[in-house]
Structure formats: C-alpha cells, structure tokens
Amino acid sequence: MKGALTALLVAVTLGGAPAAAAPNAQLVASVQHRLNVFGFDHVDAATLTTRQIAALHMQLQGRAGSLYGANYIRTRQRIQVILGWD
C-alpha cells in the first residue's frame, strides 16, 4: 500500500502531461527545403512547433506543392496561416 501511494505521489509530482518528442531532423530539413522553394527562406523550420512542422509537411505533399498557377498562390496562403500559429 505504501509503495502504491509513493508511486502515485511521484506521478502527480512529475505531472500528467506526456512528453512530446521533437520532430525528426530529416522531416524538418524536408520542410525547410519546401519553405525555401515557396519563398519562405527567412523562416527557420527548426524553430517551428511540432504541430506546425506536421501541418506544413502535410500541406506541401503532392500536387499541393505545385509551383504553378492558382495552386501555388493557395499553397503560399496556407503556409502563411500555418506559420501564424502559436
């Protein structure tokens, strides 16, 4: 009983929030490259949150990453919105 109480006390003291892992370095480099291609070379992808890296990665996949036409303009607008997240 005393051991269980000690374990509970340690768990509460350390906090209930799970630890979040940093984004993979290869993923960050890939996002950085795509940001550079879209004209956001002033942004350092290493300083972005995991949420932003994930959203940018998903946004810049496939046809969304096209450098031509209206898709290019929409993609740049979406990048700006994601970069504005806290």
Residue 67 lies inside a defined structural domain of this protein: yes
What is the total count of domains within the chain? 1
pTM: 0.69
Residue 8 lies inside a defined structural domain of this protein: no
C-beta of residue 54 within 8 angstroms of C-beta of residue 82 = no
Mean pLDDT across 21-50:
92
Q: Which domain holds residue 53?
A: 18-83
C-beta of residue 28 within 8 angstroms of C-beta of residue 53 = yes
Confidence tier at 69 by pLDDT (50, 70, 90): confident
Confidence tier at 83 by pLDDT (50, 70, 90): very high
C-beta of residue 50 within 8 angstroms of C-beta of residue 22 = yes
HSE-CB at 51 with a 13 A cutoff on CA atoms is 6
Residue 3 lies inside a defined structural domain of this protein: no
> 85 by DSSP, 3-state: which?
coil
